[in-house]
Amino acid sequence: MSFINNSKKKIALIDCNSFYVSCERLFNPKIQKIPVVVLSNNDGCVISRSTEAKRIGIKMGEPYFKVKELVKKNNVQIFSSNYALYGDISRRVMKILKGFSDKIEIYSIDEAFIDLSHIKNELVEDYGKRIKERVLKWTGIPTSVGISNTKTLSKVANHVAKKNKAGVIFLKDNIDEVLKNFDISDVWGVGKQLSKLYLKNGINNALKLKNISNSWVKKSTNVLGAKTVMELRGIPCIELDTEETKRKSCCVSRSFGKKVQSLEKLKESVTTHCLNAAEKIRNDNQTTRSITVFIRTSPFDKNRRYYSNSFTIDLPIATNNSLELVKTAITGLVKIYKHGYFYQKAGIILSKLNEAGEKELNLLTPILENKSQKLMKAMDLTNSKYGRNVISVAQAGINNSWRMRREHSSRIDTASFDSLPKISI
């Protein structure tokens, strides 16, 4: 029997405030104090809001067309998302965080857990403040820091820190008081379905969830539900994942700027997605043994019949060859395409990913691979040098009418001096 002393464990969650908005603000002094929102791909939904935008009632995830009035009335600045920019800023933030603890889990583009167990209790809040200050000073990105002894509690602490002036909370005493005022649906790991279940049973805040009986949770939910409860009690159940593991699947999909009816146009988009996915896994030195293609009409359109379908094809030999993947995906697409529908989205998923170079036993592989590998390498090199999709395949089409809308892009490029704000003295 072994004892793990968890009483000293301290996990910090550093979360960038309104991350995408903050990134846009770095390069645009005029939008510092006014309401700003960033839209999802295709200018579809609101996915990042400044405090000012939250205050005037723009909700997270709301479709853009529903808030257009509000936007107009309040002179809200709108941006299409620019993931190249956000990814770049994110890497800079994470690099700084790594300087504070090598036990770090980069949890998403805008947040990371770090282990601060080595810092004494009485110093840890100050340490959190130093992290926040350094990230702000070196990147310009504001963050909130929540510290407690499990990941779930540090999420709670972070929530509280976001509303707190200092922006840093070490949640150690009065935990129950905080949990009592913490909405059940805001608890990490409690989504729509679990919320519904808990509310039905009178569990409407985090404290009630913490005090629920073990047998009830196990019976009514699953292991994840039980883990959340334990974590609220201060017992670490969700380990810090410090390994930088490679992805297990790779999905590329897009909604269309305009609804698509023809098989030809669907082929163009599926081809484009395949090329991008193949490039991604080649970048990670991976190969795939299974490709899924899917298409669907809009689930929101009540006037037309809904159709959604997918087709998965297992590949006899693991590959990351663009041409081969395109060919396979198209045969799948043809099987599920139905004439007469207004398609809204298409995509592909590569799964059963493996490390490339783990050779399979097949006599033909070496000869076939050599030639195509050289072609792929040349393609990737050209595209990274001269811009994405400079080299493509004919099937992907050009000037496609189905491509996504992106009408509010700031077009900021961190590799270009032109993007820097100019100061006149």
Partner DNA sequence: TCTGGGGTCCTAGGACCC
Report the interface residues with DNA, using CB under 7 A.
40-42, 44-45, 47, 61, 63-65, 107-111, 155, 187-195, 222-224, 247-255, 259, 280, 298, 300-301, 312, 314, 344-345, 347, 404
Q: How far is CA 288 from each of CA 197, 253, 359, 372, 391, rounded to the nearest angstrom?
A: 39, 17, 13, 15, 22
Chain centroid to Cα 64, Å, comes to 19
* Least Cβ distance, residue 299 to DNA (angstroms): 8
* Least Cβ distance, residue 192 to DNA (angstroms): 4
User: Which residue's CB is nearer to DNA, number 124 or number 206?
Assistant: 206
User: Which residue's CB is nearer to DNA, number 195 or number 354?
Assistant: 195
Q: Is 12 exposed, middle or buried (0-12, 13-18, 19+ CB in 10 A)?
A: buried
User: Which residue's CB is nearer to DNA, number 47 or number 368?
Assistant: 47
* Least Cβ distance, residue 417 to DNA (angstroms): 29
Is 62 one of the catalytic residues?
Answer: no
User: Which residue's CB is nearer to DNA, number 9 or number 254?
Assistant: 254
* Least Cβ distance, residue 68 to DNA (angstroms): 7
* Least Cβ distance, residue 352 to DNA (angstroms): 7
User: Which residue's CB is nearer to DNA, number 41 or number 204?
Assistant: 41
* Residue tagged active-site, from 105, 111, 231, 369: 111
Torsion angle of C-alpha atoms 182, 187, 191, 195, degrees rounded to 10: -40
User: Which residue's CB is nearer to DNA, number 52 or number 111?
Assistant: 111
* Least Cβ distance, residue 371 to DNA (angstroms): 28
Residues known to be catalytic: 111
